[in-house]
Chains A and B, each alone.
Chain A
């Protein structure tokens, strides 16, 4: 094999090496280094609140056809920002990126349809709950599913990295073929295309499905209920307190009642004072 034609016996090599090493040493000093998480005071000084939301999970958070962030979570975020007197910036996150994005400080707070579970509470700080939903297995009318045991011989779709995944895995027998998709959109697609006979979904899915394919699907069994809470980083008392104080007052307002009716189509529920294994207030 002929020697590579590099045109030079002595290229930029040594100079390049010196340049690269210098750059590597200097860069960390020059690039703005955010060493601490953004505290509430930092946010107030910058005038902006950065909220992590879902971009494709109606009715919690979704982007409509005109590109605007909508949904129950988004409305709560807007009210929270107004309460703090800050401008609001939405960051749409995939299901799996929610908690890592919070922990890596991409957002100040998560209001993204995050189900409150003791496992998650180990990594993040939840606030008081702001919503409860029931989770179901939803399937075609002619598929027989009357108890979790029926799932054992079927393929059931679920969005990964969600409480649906956790609940389904807990309830379904070991022989169930659980098929995990990136998000709600893909999971519902899997059901609609017949790739799976049933999926795990929240109580709002049936309404959408009924609109798309009337009379084809129905809720089969309940697999659990979940409270949703906002989430902040562990140890950051200021954010946790700010949201709790805000929501404590907000949830008794008429504006909230109307918001709840609009998106959840129900009356405001009785919020629990505590949930097993989960603290609402940062220690």
Chain B
């Protein structure tokens, strides 16, 4: 496998990174909304958020991709395939991130918000200045862990026809008839992107727990 073929794989990698970025960056604001909705005491809002999270955690990512890909046109949104898949990943990320952040909001001691209430701070200020910063810090390991899941999840875009890294590997394997080599390289490329992120997550987790012992 020469340089040309390796560049071919790198082109696929480009899409992997792009789809991950869209999903993660898109998922953050919506995940944030889901987390807030999930910690609301209004029953309808909380249930809706809970249903959203349950839906995405209880069904395969592959199905989510297909449903959004074929479903968007039905609600009048005819977008390019990459955007359809991007929207699917965004929705997926919003559910998982929303759940992670919901957990971390609830992990912040109640004393913090009680103190804010005693000081006369409203909902907005309490969340913005006291609870959320702490929640965010607590959530970092899990959030970064999810980023790794998302990177791996983009491989499923292959089944919807995307020429991202996994699909490129499949195609290259046919062109040069060396599946062992090609899939090993593809695996190595995924590993090279995911592993540092995983390690970062673990390091942050250690740092966070050190402070709490």
Contact = CB atoms under 8 A, between A and B. Distances in A.
A153 interface: no
A189 B179 contact: yes
Contact of A192 (B8, B123, B179): B179
Interface string A86-109: 000001111001001100111000
B110 interface: yes
A195 B161 CA distance: 23
A7 interface: yes
A92 B157 CA distance: 13
A14 interface: yes
Given A12-B123, A17-B45, A189-B174, A104 B76 contact: no
A276 to B, nearest CB: 31
B159 A63 contact: no
A7 B40 contact: no
B171 A213 contact: no
Interface in B99-151: 105-110, 112-113, 123, 126-127, 131
- Interface bracket on A: 35 or more
A244 B170 CA distance: 36
Contacts of A66: 4, 8
Contact of B113 (A7, A14, A94, A105): A7
Contact of A16 (B42, B70, B76): B42
A138 to B, nearest CB: 14
B46 interface: yes
B192 interface: no
A65 B76 contact: no
A28 B11 CA distance: 36
A273 interface: no
A67 B170 contact: no
Interface in A251-279: none
B78 A16 contact: no
Given A12-B123, A94-B160, A106 B76 contact: no
Nearest to A213: B177
Interface string A66-87: 1100000000000000000000
Contact of B163 (A55, A100, A192, A208): A55
A189 B40 contact: no
A192 B113 CA distance: 63
B170 A34 contact: no
A93 B157 CA distance: 12
B106 A11 contact: no
A9 B5 CA distance: 60
A194 to B, nearest CB: 11
B171 A97 contact: no
Nearest to B127: A7
A5 to B, nearest CB: 5
Contact of A185 (B45, B76, B171): B171
Given A8-B123, A55-B163, A65-B4, A106 B177 contact: no
A5 B159 contact: no
A151 B11 CA distance: 40
B9 to A, nearest CB: 10
Interface string A1-28: 0001111111111101100100000001
Given A7-B110, A16-B40, A34-B78, A189 B173 contact: yes
Contacts of B75: 28
Contact of A7 (B39, B77, B159): B39
A91 B81 contact: yes
A31 B11 CA distance: 32
B106 A9 contact: no
Interface of A: 4-14, 16-17, 20, 28, 31, 33-35, 55-56, 62-63, 65-67, 91-94, 97, 100-101, 104-106, 182, 185-186, 188-189, 192-193, 208, 212-213
Closest 9 CB pairs of A and B: A13-B42, A94-B161, A11-B40, A104-B73, A7-B113, A13-B40, A212-B177, A65-B8, A6-B39
5 contacts: A7-B108, A10-B41, A10-B42, A31-B76, A63-B163
Given A8-B41, A189-B174, 17 more contacts: A5-B110, A6-B41, A8-B113, A10-B42, A11-B36, A13-B45, A13-B46, A16-B45, A17-B42, A55-B161, A56-B170, A65-B5, A100-B70, A104-B73, A105-B73, A193-B179, A212-B174
